[in-house]
Amino acid sequence: MKSSLIILFTLAVFLLASLSEAKECIRGLNAKDAEDLQKKFKSFTKNTPCKPDETACIGTAFAKCFSTGTKNEWSIQPCAGGLKCAVLPLVLKRGTSITCDTEEDRVARIKDAKDSCKPKKRGYPPSLY
Per-residue model confidence as pLDDT tens digits over 4-24: 545 544 444 443 334 444 556
Question: How many domains, in total, are found in the chain?
Answer: 1
pLDDT digits (tens, 9 = 90+) for 80-122: 999 999 999 999 999 999 999 999 999 999 999 999 887 654 4
Compute the distance between CA of residue 5 and CA of residue 113 in angstroms, rounded to an integer: 36
Task: Judge whether 93 lies within some domain.
Answer: yes
User: At residue 36, what are phi and psi to the nearest 5 degrees?
Assistant: -65, -45
DSSP state of 13: H
Task: Judge whether 18 lies within some domain.
Answer: no
Task: Judge whether 65 lies within some domain.
Answer: yes
83 lies in which domain range?
A: 25-115
At residue 79, the 3 state secondary structure works out as coil
Whether 61 contacts 79, CB under 8 Å: yes
Task: Judge whether 17 lies within some domain.
Answer: no
Task: Judge whether 19 lies within some domain.
Answer: no
Task: Judge whether 16 lies within some domain.
Answer: no
Task: Judge whether 15 lies within some domain.
Answer: no
Whether 61 contacts 3, CB under 8 Å: no
Compute the distance between CA of residue 39 and CA of residue 54 in angstroms, rounded to an integer: 17
Task: Judge whether 92 lies within some domain.
Answer: yes
pTM of the prediction?
Answer: 0.73
DSSP H stretches of helix in 42-102: none
